[in-house]
Amino acid sequence: MPPVPDLPGRGGELRLHDTAENRTRVTTPGPVARMYVCGITPYDATHMGHAFTYVTFDLINRVWRDAGHEVHYVQNVTDIDDPLLERAVATGQDWRAIADRETALFREDMTALNVLPPRDYIGAVESIPSVARHVEDLQEQGAVYAVDGDLYFRVSRDAAFGSLSGLNREEMIRIFAERGGDPGRDGKEDPLDCLVWQSARPDEPAWNTSLGHGRPGWHIECTAIALDHLGMGFDVQGGGSDLVFPHHEMCAAEAQVLTGTAPFARHYVHSGMVAWQGHKMSKSRGNLVFVSQLRHEGIEPAAIRLALLAHHYRSDWAWTPQGLDGARERLALWRSAVDLASGPDAAPVLERVRVALADDLRTPSALDAIDAWCVSAASGTSADPAAPGLVRDLADGLLGVRLD
Ligand code: 5CA
Ligand code: ZN
């Protein structure tokens, strides 16, 4: 955990857009705010889309802390799944070696970007015993059936199924097919039922559990990890908007059936998609700009972070070299201003940044407020010797942009 500067006073309570209610409302965590953010599937390096998503949830972490909460942040790593095994076959490498290497690189990239690490960072493989227990519980409730040895969850058992994404059935079936689901498989009771346990396939890794020899489905992994480490009704479940359906809808449905209570999470928060070359940046398409590549080219991580923060987290946007150039200029402006011996009173900047971030993370306004202070400081007419230090601390503490 890197040091986070203490700031005078306290920020206000964070308001966030909730996908399930499709409106922005205040988060109401207890003394310990609880957040689960879906982690990477480690078969390729961290790209700007990942970075945008994890920087978004890092802001939530920082704003809650600034408002006086502790934060219990949990993240998974999907260290066994189809794309990882496909990459292993395609490259002739061991799937575990790929997962270990890419997970280590992701953590290095997150550290470079000054993203505060989760308290619990949990792998899918290490969670297999827990997944098996949760699937048994679902079986006892009659919420599971088998198709040729694979186990499916009956989504109809959750009365609230569909309410998170707000999609109609037809849309759900279409998107399910696009994002790892199998609506057309023969023998399923409902095309939308999702796999919770897949029996062993030849030449694929498998584990012995009470459910037989096999491996977990994707959604139940996050359900189990979130329930084990946070319990029901935690404050925020997060990820990119490509996880709204089916992933977060399925996680919530499984958890709600398992516990007989709702909601799984009190806010469902989703970041927009970062595109490059005309399409959403994705490992499967291969149109990627990697954090580690830019770092090796000598681009400062603080500049990458500023390039991301220039976009509101809910917007879809395209990465551009010009955007990065603008961020490097901004970083230089901020650095030269906080290196001055004095500047205009910074208390109003702190307030403006706090207000902007607490209002659904309006980062562009927060950056504008700091820009304005820097321009005014550079004009040299004001003389508060404490101001540059406060701006340095608030840029680091609230936005995660280190200026030293
Ligand atoms: N392991 C699962 C979640 S349990 C997974 O989706 N992994 S991932 O590696 O594909 O994506 C990790 C996170 O990055 C997810 O929250 C995803 O929504 C987000 N993400 C992926 N591509 C982009 C993109 N182009 N723009 C913004 N966020 C993205
Ligand atoms: Zn997940």
Q: Which ligand is nearest to the CA of 271?
A: 1
Closest CA to 128 of 193, 199, 197: 197
For the CA atoms of the chain, what is the radius of gyration?
22
Q: What is the pLDDT of residue 284?
A: 77
Q: Which ligand is nearest to the CA of 276?
A: 1
Burial 36-58 (b: 16+ CB within 10 A, else e): bbbbbbbbbbbbbbbbbbbbbbb
Tell me the C-alpha distance between 64 and 226, whole Å: 19
Q: Which atom of ligand 1 lies nearest, measured to the CA of 42? A: 9
Q: Which ligand is nearest to the CA of 242?
A: 1
In this structure, what token pair is assigned to residue 23? 């409106």
Q: What is the pLDDT of residue 285?
A: 85
Residue identifier of the C-alpha nearest atom 16 of ligand 1: 239
Residue identifier of the C-alpha nearest atom 8 of ligand 1: 40
376 CB burial (10 A radius; 0-12, 13-18, 19+): middle
Which residue out of 242, 268, 314 has the highest number of ligand 1 atoms within 8 Å of its CB and is therefore the one to mutate?
A: 242
Which residue out of 19, 36, 40 has the highest number of ligand 1 atoms within 8 Å of its CB and is therefore the one to mutate?
A: 40
In this structure, what token pair is assigned to residue 56? 């978004």
Crossing angle of helices 363-379 and 387-399, in 10° steps, is 160
> What is the CB < 6 Å shell around ligand 1?
38-41, 49-50, 52-53, 76, 78, 222, 239-240, 242-243, 271, 273-274, 280-282
Q: Which atom of ligand 1 lies nearest, measured to the CA of 221? A: 4
Q: Which ligand is nearest to the CA of 180?
A: 1
Q: Which atom of ligand 1 lies nearest, measured to the CA of 37? A: 16
Q: 4 alpha carbon to ligand 2 midpoint, in Å? A: 27
Which residue out of 243, 250, 251 has the highest number of ligand 1 atoms within 8 Å of its CB and is therefore the one to mutate?
A: 243
Q: 222 alpha carbon to ligand 2 midpoint, in Å? A: 5
Q: Which atom of ligand 1 lies nearest, measured to the CA of 273? A: 26
Residue identifier of the C-alpha nearest atom 6 of ligand 1: 40
**DSSP alpha helix (H) spans, 114-190:** 128-140, 169-178
Q: 7 alpha carbon to ligand 1 midpoint, in Å? A: 32
Q: Which atom of ligand 1 lies nearest, measured to the CA of 275? A: 25
In this structure, what token pair is assigned to residue 286? 């291969």
Tell me the C-alpha distance between 57 and 51, whole Å: 10
Q: What is the pLDDT of residue 382?
A: 76
Residue identifier of the C-alpha nearest atom 5 of ligand 1: 40
Position 95, amino acid: W
Q: 108 alpha carbon to ligand 2 midpoint, in Å? A: 21
Q: 328 alpha carbon to ligand 1 midpoint, in Å? A: 26
Tell me the C-alpha distance between 254 and 139, whole Å: 11
- Local confidence pLDDT in tens for the 404 residues of the chain: 999 999 999 999 999 999 999 999 999 999 999 999 999 999 988 999 999 999 999 999 999 999 999 999 999 999 999 999 999 999 999 999 999 999 999 999 999 999 999 999 999 999 999 999 999 999 999 999 999 999 999 999 999 999 999 999 999 999 999 999 999 999 999 999 999 999 999 999 999 999 999 999 999 999 999 999 999 999 999 999 999 999 999 999 999 999 999 999 999 999 999 999 899 988 778 889 999 999 999 999 999 999 999 999 999 999 999 999 999 999 999 999 999 999 999 999 999 999 999 999 999 999 999 999 999 999 987 789 999 999 999 999 999 999 99
Residue identifier of the C-alpha nearest atom 11 of ligand 1: 40
Q: Which ligand is nearest to the CA of 106?
A: 1
Residue identifier of the C-alpha nearest atom 24 of ligand 1: 49
Please identify which residue in the block is written with the tokens 């009173």: 345
Q: Dmax of the chain from CA atoms? A: 77
Q: 36 alpha carbon to ligand 2 midpoint, in Å? A: 9
Please identify which residue in the block is written with the tokens 């011996």: 341
